[in-house]
Amino acid sequence: MQNIQGTCLCEKNHLVIKEYGNFVYSCHCDMCRKMSAGPVMAVDPETSDNIELQLDEASVTYYHSSPEVERAFCSTCGTYLFWHHLTRDHYCMNAELFPDIIKQANFGLQVFYDRKPHYYDFANETKKMSSSWEEI
Ligand SMILES: [Zn+2]
Ligand SMILES: [Zn+2]
């Protein structure tokens, strides 16, 4: 797919992924679960070359969850937009912003699986990685 459009709930912030397939993964880390009331479902468009951010800067809040990572949220509707590793220029985005990806998603990976609390489980057959990036 090309030029895949995404928006936050209030549609003040638009995000475009220039080129992407249908890969979706979940992150079970403590920070993702706390900020979103559950595991984050994410897409991985990689670097800034592959995306176009059309953000309403008055409606975006950046939170540095670690020295090299910022997370962006819509400050009007609260929607989680993306995770950005600043030194690697690596973006991972909220998959649910992109209906065209979700319609045909291939949910193939769960990361930080060792951090997942016991009260939920996905039934999907996926690859599972621990917080030390070893396959479980
Ligand atoms: Zn919004
Ligand atoms: Zn996470």
Task: Give the number of domains in the chain.
Answer: 1
Is 110 contained in some domain? yes
According to DSSP H, which parts of 44-118 are helical? 99-102
Q: How far is the CA of 1 from the centre of ligand 2 (A)?
A: 25
CATH assignment at residue 14: 2.170.150.70
Domain residues for 114? 2-128
Which ligand is nearest the CA of 83, by number? Answer: 2
Residue 89 falls inside a structural domain? yes
In a domain, 135, yes or no: no
Considering every ligand atom, which ligand is closest to the CA of 56? 1
Q: Is 101 contained in some domain? A: yes
What's the 3-state SS for 21-63?
Answer: CCEEEEECCHHHHHHHCCCEEEEEEEEHHHEEEECCHHHEEEE
Report the pLDDT value the prediction gives residue 79, as an integer from 0 to 100: 98
At 52 the pLDDT is: 98
Alpha-carbon distance 111 to 28, whole Å? 6
Flag whether 41 is in a domain: yes
How many A from CA of 12 to the centre of ligand 2?
Answer: 25
In a domain, 52, yes or no: yes
Rg of the chain (C-alpha set): 14
DSSP symbol at 67:
T
70 CA → ligand 2 middle, Å: 12
Q: What is the pLDDT of residue 31?
A: 96
Residue 118 lies in a domain: yes
pLDDT of residue 66: 94
Q: If you measure from the C-alpha of residue 114 to the centroid of ligand 2, how many angstroms do you get, rounded to a whole number? A: 12
* Residue 66 belongs to some domain of the structure: yes
pLDDT tens track of the chain, all 136 residues?
Answer: 999 999 999 999 999 999 999 999 999 999 999 999 999 999 999 999 999 999 999 999 999 999 999 999 999 999 999 999 999 999 999 999 999 999 999 999 999 999 999 999 999 999 999 999 999 9
